[in-house]
Amino acid sequence: MDIINIILVIFFAGALITAFAAKISSIVQDILFIGTILATSIIFFLNINTNTETIINLSHINLTLGLTPLSLYFAFIVFGLAVLAGFYAVGQMQGKKKKGYFYFNYLLSIAAMFGILVSKDLVSFFIFWEIMTWSSYLLVIYNGENVQKTGIKYFVLSAIGAYSMLMAIVIIHSLTGSFLISDLISGFNNMSANMQILIPVLLLTGFGVKAALMPLHIWAPDAYSNAPMSYTAIFSGALSKMGIYGMVIVFLTLITKLPQETLIRDIIAWLGAITAAISTLWAIKQDDAKRLLAYSSIGQLGYIVVGVAIGTPLAMLAGLFLAFMHGVFKSTLFMVVGAIEKQTGTSNLKEVTGLIRKMPWTFIAALISIIALAGIPPLGGFVGKWMLYESLITSNHYLLVTLVFFSSTAAFLYCYKFLFGFFLGQEEKEWSHVKEAPAIMVVPMLILSLISVVLGSFPQLILKPINSALSYYSLPDTYNNLWKESMIFNKWGDQVALTPIVYGVAIVFIVFAVFLFFKNRKTSRYVTTKDISTSGEVPKEHENLTFKENFFQPFLRAVEPAMKRQMDKYMLAFAKGLEDLFDFTRRIYNGNGQTYAIYAIIFVIILLLLSNNLFS
């Protein structure tokens, strides 16, 4: 049996066994869960081979599975995050109900993502896509809050995406007679002009939903914040990248062959940029850390879409690099929120405060990831964003780069809010009992932060796989002359040019900080919010003195017009309207048997009247 089949079988069997292992013991269940993930990832990393193909023969459809360099790159993200978030999940799920349910769907969605990546034909792609959708749906409603609203919204949007993809798939099959992706690519030139537009648009709609592209993003804030954080790390880090994966293929193979290429690229890129800008603004407004990160995820995915859509070699590099980076730092941040929520019971930025001394390791992970997210050198996020800006400027998208730059800068605000809200500020008595999260949760976060740091200095570690992925789809080889592509790389092409300077500045800064710390250690004193005796007036209990209330209010007031209209509300109103309409139309069945008989006679009369036209 082939490696891919073995991995899939282990996944499915592991998911089933884990789900029912709760009957034996909770520990066994944890071990089985971790064992499944480890076994599959080890088998995968030991047997990476992009040449083999497995064909599963069904009478009328052949399912073809095999790795391509591009899917290999995304498989790194999926498996890496799956393992780390898996360990984290074991820690986070301790003592929770429905563990079997969680593990089952977790494993299933990882298996489905792996399946998507190894699918070389559209049917198996769609099958795994749908498995991914419903297993993630089941995890989105895991908490049981707002299931009818959040869950259904997620599923409906996913279904819109999946079904437009399915429509594209059957159309492709009718035109080329095959479900193979390679046949689609080779046969695309022979299609009629209408189909050449229709197919990419349908496919992009499908991928755009998972990549949370406007206006298909409305599911994301609720879904990301409703799922358990250990899964949201995967959800935002890896699952959303499946949409990016699909978009990369569509842009590299289909859009490039179109006469309207630049138009479509611009439209998608603008959608991505607007998504980034608007959702950054919304992120700043949130008080719940989960929702803040959810909106931030949408924004970051917007950047990636911009890079992929522009599609010059550098932009592609930037997009794919950011995809990896986003997977790393955003899942760390979601894990941080999960850890804090587990220890304090809430994820509200207004309530939790001053955890820096209570949860130092979590703080370090959060700090590093926030720096990476904000795009501050020397971490990985900086490299990606730099490449993105440069690619936009060199391809003359000045307005676009302004918008992207604006949202990237605005992102500082919520980054700060996140850090300050949880970790800084005065310590409250309420949280004096809080302890650091268990090691099994902290270590994955620290490993991920370490990756962020390493990639900031050695981006070539993943630029090489990206390059081979892109050259598989016949983009020019960029790896050996990275310095030609972007001025961020030094002229040997293996380093980020700015890194030595940045490290120099950082070292000076740290030395200075340490100096200050030691100098003032004796005299400093920790105070709580209510401890303002120096001003002579003792505040009453209910007075809220933290300035976390109405964070950034002037800024939000300034951008309010842009946020007045929310897509979400329009869509919900539309759905409500439709439901009311259907509620009205079902009154056709008015309960009177005689009316039904009259319908029957009317039916006959109509048919008789139309018979000349019908049966000519």
Binding site for another protein (CB under 8 A): 58-60, 123, 126-128, 130-131, 133-134, 137, 141, 144, 147-148, 151-152, 155-156, 159-160, 163-164, 166-167, 170-171, 173-174, 579, 582-583, 585-604, 607-608, 611, 614-616
Q: Which CB sits closer to another protein, 544 or 595?
A: 595
Q: Which CB sits closer to another protein, 518 or 615?
A: 615
List phi, psi (to 5°) of 61: -130, 135
Q: DSSP 3-state helix, strand, coil percentages of the chain (rounded to 5)?
A: 75, 5, 25
* Shortest Cβ 96–another protein spacing (Å): 15
* Shortest Cβ 610–another protein spacing (Å): 9
Q: Which CB sits closer to another protein, 138 or 482?
A: 138
| Burial 297-313, CB ≥16 within 10 A → b, else e | bbbbbbbbbbbbbbbbb
Is residue 65 classed as helix, strand or coil in its secondary structure?
strand
Q: CA dihedral in degrees (54, 59, 60, 64; nearest 10)?
A: 0
Is residue 26 classed as helix, strand or coil in its secondary structure?
helix
Q: Which CB sits closer to another protein, 165 or 305?
A: 165
Q: Which CB sits closer to another protein, 28 or 127?
A: 127
Query: Which residue(s) pair with 53 in the sheet?
Result: 66
* Shortest Cβ 19–another protein spacing (Å): 10
Q: Which CB sits closer to another protein, 570 or 603?
A: 603
Residue where the block lists tokens 């380093």? 495
Number of Cβ within a 10 Å radius of residue 511? 10
Q: Which CB sits closer to another protein, 162 or 276?
A: 162
Enumerate residues 6+ apart whose C-beta is below 8 A from 263. none
* Shortest Cβ 30–another protein spacing (Å): 21
In 3D space, the residue among 475, 320, 329 whose CA is nearest the CA of residue 387 turns out to be 320
Q: Which CB sits closer to another protein, 520 or 585?
A: 585
* Shortest Cβ 168–another protein spacing (Å): 10
* Shortest Cβ 142–another protein spacing (Å): 9
* Shortest Cβ 313–another protein spacing (Å): 35
- Compute the distance between CA of residue 531 and CA of residue 550 in angstroms, rounded to an integer: 21
* Shortest Cβ 171–another protein spacing (Å): 5
Q: Which CB sits closer to another protein, 17 or 333?
A: 17
- Compute the distance between CA of residue 332 and CA of residue 371 in angstroms, rounded to an integer: 12
Q: What token pair was written down for 161? A: 């995406």
Q: Which CB sits closer to another protein, 174 or 520?
A: 174
Q: Which CB sits closer to another protein, 123 or 273?
A: 123
Q: CA dihedral in degrees (556, 298, 333, 232; nearest 10)?
A: 130
DSSP 8-class letter at 51 = S
Q: Which CB sits closer to another protein, 510 or 598?
A: 598
- Compute the distance between CA of residue 380 and CA of residue 387 in angstroms, rounded to an integer: 11
- Compute the distance between CA of residue 463 and CA of residue 469 in angstroms, rounded to an integer: 10
- CB-neighbour burial class of residue 483 (10 A; exposed 0-12, middle 13-18, buried 19+): middle
Q: What token pair was written down for 94? A: 């301790």
* Shortest Cβ 584–another protein spacing (Å): 9
- Compute the distance between CA of residue 231 and CA of residue 139 in angstroms, rounded to an integer: 8
* Shortest Cβ 129–another protein spacing (Å): 9
Q: Are strands 53-57 and 62-66 parallel, antiparallel or unpaired?
A: antiparallel
* Shortest Cβ 170–another protein spacing (Å): 4
In 3D space, the residue among 338, 308, 162 whose CA is nearest the CA of residue 247 turns out to be 308
The 3-state secondary structure of 360-427, one letter per residue? HHHHHHHHHHHHHHHCCCCCHHHHHHHHHHHHHHHCCCHHHHHHHHHHHHHHHHHHHHHHHHHHCCCC
Question: DSSP string covering 457-503, please?
Answer: H-THHHHHHHHHHHHHTTPPP-GGGHHHH-TTB-TTSSSBTTHHHHH
* Shortest Cβ 134–another protein spacing (Å): 5
* Shortest Cβ 161–another protein spacing (Å): 11
Is residue 55 classed as helix, strand or coil in its secondary structure?
strand
In 3D space, the residue among 158, 155, 246 whose CA is nearest the CA of residue 207 turns out to be 246
Is residue 49 classed as helix, strand or coil in its secondary structure?
coil
Q: Which CB sits closer to another protein, 173 or 241?
A: 173
* Shortest Cβ 145–another protein spacing (Å): 8
Q: Which CB sits closer to another protein, 174 or 189?
A: 174
